[in-house]
Chain A
Amino acid sequence: MEATKKSIRIRRIYLVLAAAVAVLAGLQFFTAPLASRPVTGHITTAPKEVMAILERSCYDCHSNEQQLSWFDHLAPASWLVKKDIDKAREVLNFSEWDKVSPAAHTGNMYAILNMLQAGKMPLPPYALLHPGAKVSAAEIDIIKKYTLSLTSKSKEATTASEHPAVAGSIPEKFPVSPNGVKYTNAFMQWTVISMSTLFDNSIRVIYGNDIAAKAVREENFHPWPDGSVVVKAVWKQELSPEGEIRPGEFINAQFMEKNAQQYKSTEGWGFAKFSGPSLEPTGKTPMFAEQSCISCHRQLAESTGYLFDVPLKINPDSIIAKIR
């Protein structure tokens, strides 16, 4: 009697296993293959040790040259792998580096360094299943050394005499970003929230409307109130006769507009960038911010509600009354 019960139990286990295998096998028919894309160009200026780290830890997602493990090809894991690779290729693709300008190369290397330092890349679940992709502290130092060398080489500050005049090239109508964010020159009247520089390339001023300025003062970042608009105006660095750096040629104005409903896929922020004298909007489709802007903001600036240039919390509040 006992033996019969045991054999029924074993048969049930086999049945469940067989069903699981059958379901798994069935799922394989629903796997869309990863799009094959050609290799058009690699990074040519980085030392071998930097390339070795990037190839080992980043190429499986951020390239057209994947060397995936067998289990990455099995559905349902393959669905997630495909989704991650498609997204990763849009953000940064080491196999299409010929499309990347020298300035963008520097910017990308800083983005890579910041992601590695923050432990955000490789993605922790990926690193768990692919321990070989993990990047050690010593390897981050190698990336850092190379990245910092890029900006110390290229001092792009111009002198005052090279300062081009931009007045007069008035856009007839203010542009609109593909995701609906409209340029407005009203920000020139807003409160300055902070000032910053990026590498040796640019000097910036970050403006906020009344809602945004209040949100900063009250640290109301989670979430920022709807209606907050922050504009980062970016200029090239220019050397003054006194040896100071001053804002020179206008590069762009970067907008972040908070509307939780309208911009759900980018943490409630509508991103836009308007560049050059004609204020050319960045992006061809409304999806551009999902494929570029938000990835860094989401990973590195979560603590301040996805904004990088929020004033540091280092002044005693008594200073507000003292200095006006």
Chain B
Amino acid sequence: MKYLFCLLLTGITILTSCTGKRPQDEHVRVVFDAGKLKFIASSLHPGQETISALYGNEAAYRLLSAGDKQATGAEIKLVTWRFHDNPQYTGSRINGALLRVETVHTVTPDSITYHLEGNPLPDKATAATRIQYILGYKPVQFPGQQIFSHH
């Protein structure tokens, strides 16, 4: 009886340890946490099948909306996802696999840092061209309202 119990316990241990994936490999619905940064702009690249969201702080909003080249302290994150057909609605596309996060920080007008996390860029662009590209975004428009309200 004791032998049977031990055998059963071993069997259960082996089976449970081999089933399923490790928790960290499970698939989840990702909502990007931009911290204190706010959504400012977006874009969709039909050729690369990507969709991006640009987040920033108030200085970034000022820089992008008014082209205030002297703005310092701007923090920007460009978050890029692969887009997919929405399985719930033919005709709609939605962001899916998270590809990369690019961060731009304007320390001074002459000192701008760039950092890339995640998948490499498809066109192997340099940091300088990416900074120029990211700083070329314009904020989305809402009727009579601005993302940072006191401006």
Give the interface of A toward B (CB within 8 A): 110, 113-114, 117, 144, 147, 151, 165-171, 185, 188-189, 191-199, 203, 205, 207-208, 213, 216-217, 219, 233, 235, 237, 240, 242-247, 249-250, 253, 276-279, 300-301, 303-304, 308-320, 322-324
Q: Which residues of A contact B31 (CB under 8 A)?
A: 191-194, 208, 213, 216-217, 311
- In the complex, are the beta carbons of B101 and A194 less than 8 A apart? no
Closest to A297 in B: B88
- In the complex, are the beta carbons of A203 and B44 less than 8 A apart? yes
Report the minimal beta-carbon distance from B123 to chain A, rounded to whole angstroms.
11
Given A315-B97, A319-B30; A197-B143 close (CB under 8 Å): no
Q: Which residues of A contact B101 (CB under 8 A)?
A: 323-324
Given A191-B31, A322-B118; A314-B142 close (CB under 8 Å): no
Q: Which residues of B contact A203 (CB under 8 A)?
A: 42, 44
Report the minimal beta-carbon distance from B72 to chain A, rounded to whole angstroms.
23
* Distance in angstroms between the alpha carbons of A197 and B98 in the assembled complex: 17
Q: Is B89 an interface residue (CB 8 A)?
A: yes
Closest to B139 in A: A247
Report the minimal beta-carbon distance from B118 to chain A, rounded to whole angstroms.
5
Closest to B147 in A: A188
- In the complex, are the beta carbons of A198 and B143 less than 8 A apart? no
Q: Which residues of B contact A279 (CB under 8 A)?
A: 143
Report the minimal beta-carbon distance from A214 to chain B, rounded to whole angstroms.
9
The residue among A114, A147, A168 with the most chain B CB atoms within 10 A of its own CB is: A114
- In the complex, are the beta carbons of A170 and B42 less than 8 A apart? no
Q: Is B69 an interface residue (CB 8 A)?
A: no
- A110-B90, A197-B92 known; 13 other A-B pairs, CB under 8 Å? A192-B31, A192-B34, A243-B46, A243-B47, A245-B43, A246-B41, A249-B141, A308-B88, A309-B94, A315-B98, A316-B25, A318-B24, A323-B117
Q: Which residues of A contact B143 (CB under 8 A)?
A: 166, 169-171, 250, 276-279
Q: Which residues of A contact B117 (CB under 8 A)?
A: 322-324
- In the complex, are the beta carbons of B89 and A246 less than 8 A apart? no
Report the minimal beta-carbon distance from A37 to chain B, rounded to whole angstroms.
30
* Distance in angstroms between the alpha carbons of A168 and B133 in the assembled complex: 28
Interface size bracket, B side: 35 or more
- Please report which residues of chain B, range 20-48, place their CB below 8 angstroms from some CB of chain A when the two chains form the complex: 23-34, 38-39, 41-47
- In the complex, are the beta carbons of B29 and A217 less than 8 A apart? yes
* Distance in angstroms between the alpha carbons of A69 and B138 in the assembled complex: 59
- In the complex, are the beta carbons of A312 and B29 less than 8 A apart? yes
Q: Which residues of A contact B86 (CB under 8 A)?
A: 196, 308-309
Report the minimal beta-carbon distance from A278 to chain B, rounded to whole angstroms.
7
Report the minimal beta-carbon distance from B62 to chain A, rounded to whole angstroms.
15
Q: Which residues of B contact A114 (CB under 8 A)?
A: 89-91
* Distance in angstroms between the alpha carbons of A219 and B31 in the assembled complex: 11
Given A244-B44, A313-B29, A322-B117; A198-B144 close (CB under 8 Å): no
Closest to B30 in A: A315
Closest to A244 in B: B43
Q: Which residues of A contact B113 (CB under 8 A)?
A: none
- In the complex, are the beta carbons of A317 and B23 less than 8 A apart? yes
Given A110-B90, A311-B94, A315-B97; A205-B28 close (CB under 8 Å): no
Q: Which residues of B contact A312 (CB under 8 A)?
A: 29, 84, 87, 94-96
The residue among A165, A207, A240 with the most chain B CB atoms within 10 A of its own CB is: A240
Q: Is B128 an interface residue (CB 8 A)?
A: no
Q: Is B140 an interface residue (CB 8 A)?
A: yes
Report the minimal beta-carbon distance from B9 to chain A, rounded to whole angstroms.
31
- In the complex, are the beta carbons of A324 and B33 less than 8 A apart? yes
